[in-house]
């Protein structure tokens, strides 16, 4: 990897949340690097610190210590005002729950933030039309969210996240609520976004091991730290849809106690994944 492809360097990041007198260490000296033109997928059991890491990169929260170097500048040292400017200029967010405003149609949902910030220029409007083409919903732009499928709504959210042409796209469970067909469409779209805009950097947090199909690198976090990094070639070598016990063994600690702890963590991860699936099927069977 060429040095000039480096976009974000996380160095020895520590984040501690306080709940009354109890301290929760969400990031425990975590370090990793993200590159331009690449998709990094971050996986790991519930509560391991994935969303915390995404929030830190997005400037939504602050570290207790450590560095978040973006384009050579440590954003952990920024003032609140500088962080806000950084977030507006460089970051696009895609969430699991699409966050679309029900009363607005698709194109209005995309343009609203730009209108509010006074940055909806003629060029931006043209760019948004291009984005609607990229997400394949040019002809549905006047439809309200309730007139679009879950997958279509998520494609609109992706267009909305790209509307200010951000350099960094942060996705938190972008396929979490989708059926398998819509999931495939959204995954292909995320991949095509990074192919079309190779100057951008995409980071996806997910429980869904299928996302490794579109990843250039995958970080596995356990207990606030990176426990394993899968490179592109390792990911390509794995054709199975899920991480197998064999994958896990490759980065199991040798101490038996630690191994048991790691196995428990894996099982909790699978448990979380299965519960998510059950919930989403139940929701479909008994819509409220």
Q: How do strand 22-35 and strand 6-19 relate by DSSP bridges?
A: antiparallel
- The residue within the footprint of ligand ATP, chosen from 50, 90, 155, 222 (CB under 6 A), is 50
C-alpha to C-alpha distance for 177 and 162, rounded to whole angstroms: 20
C-alpha to C-alpha distance for 99 and 240, rounded to whole angstroms: 32
> Which CB sits closer to ligand ATP, 24 or 181?
24
C-alpha to C-alpha distance for 283 and 288, rounded to whole angstroms: 8
Q: Does 48 bind ligand ATP (CB under 6 A)?
A: yes
Dihedral of the alpha carbons of 242, 42, 95, 201, in degrees to the nearest 10: -120
Contact between residue 91 and residue 168 where contact means Cβ atoms under 8 Å apart: yes
Which region, judged by CB under 6 A, interacts with ligand ATP, from 50-58, 143-151, 225-233, 250-258? Answer: 50-58
> Which CB sits closer to ligand ATP, 48 or 83?
48
CB of 117 to ligand ATP, least distance (A): 27
> Which CB sits closer to ligand ATP, 93 or 197?
93
* Per-residue mark of binding to ligand ATP, 8-47 (x: CB under 6 A): ---------x-x----x-x-----------------x-xx
* H or E element at residue 226: strand 225-230
> Which CB sits closer to ligand ATP, 53 or 158?
53
Please work out the total of residues on this chain that contact ligand ATP, with binding judged by CB under 6 A. 12
Provide the β-strand partners of residue 70.
8, 73
- The residue within the footprint of ligand ATP, chosen from 52, 105, 153, 182 (CB under 6 A), is 52
Q: How far is CA 104 from CA 153, 156, 211, in A?
A: 12, 12, 30
Q: Does 218 bind ligand ATP (CB under 6 A)?
A: no
Q: Does 51 bind ligand ATP (CB under 6 A)?
A: yes
CB of 114 to ligand ATP, least distance (A): 29
Q: Does 97 bind ligand ATP (CB under 6 A)?
A: no
Q: Does 154 bind ligand ATP (CB under 6 A)?
A: no
C-alpha to C-alpha distance for 194 and 34, rounded to whole angstroms: 13
DSSP string, 57-104: HTTSS--SEEEEEETTEEGGGS-HHHHHHHHHHHEEEE-SS----TTS
Provide the β-strand partners of residue 42.
205, 219
Q: Which residues bind ligand ATP (CB under 6 A)?
A: 17, 19, 24, 26, 44, 46-52
């Amino acid at each position: 990897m060429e040095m000039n492809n480096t976009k974000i360097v996380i160095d020895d990041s520590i984040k501690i949340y306080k709940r009354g007198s109890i301290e929760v260490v969400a990031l425990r000296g975590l370090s990793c690097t993200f590159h331009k033109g690449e998709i990094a997928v971050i996986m790991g059991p519930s509560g391991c610190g994935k969303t915390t890491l995404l929030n830190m990169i997005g400037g939504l929260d602050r570290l207790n210590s450590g560095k978040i170097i973006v384009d050579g500048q440590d954003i952990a040292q920024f003032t609140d005002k500088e962080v806000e400017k950084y977030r507006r200029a460089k970051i696009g967010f895609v969430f699991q729950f699409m966050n679309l405003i029900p009363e607005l149609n698709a194109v209005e949902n995309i343009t609203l933030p730009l209108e509010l910030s006074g940055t909806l220029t003629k060029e931006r409007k043209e760019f948004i039309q291009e984005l609607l083409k990229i997400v394949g919903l040019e002809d549905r732009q006047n439809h309200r969210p309730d007139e679009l499928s879950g997958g279509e709504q998520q494609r609109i959210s992706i267009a909305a996240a790209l509307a200010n042409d951000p350099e960094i796209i942060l996705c938190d469970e972008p396929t979490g609520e989708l059926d398998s067909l819509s999931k495939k469409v959204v995954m292909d779209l995320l991949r095509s976004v990074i192919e079309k805009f190779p100057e951008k950097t995409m980071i996806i947090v997910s429980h869904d091991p299928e996302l490794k199909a579109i990843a250039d690198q995958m970080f596995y976090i356990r207990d606030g730290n990176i426990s394993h990094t899968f490179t592109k070639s390792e990911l390509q070598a794995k054709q199975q849809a899920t991480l197998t016990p064999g994958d896990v063994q490759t980065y199991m600690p040798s101490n038996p106690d630690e191994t048991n702890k790691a196995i428990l963590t894996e099982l909790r991860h699978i448990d979380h994944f299965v519960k998510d699936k059950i919930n989403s099927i139940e929701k479909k069977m008994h819509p409220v």
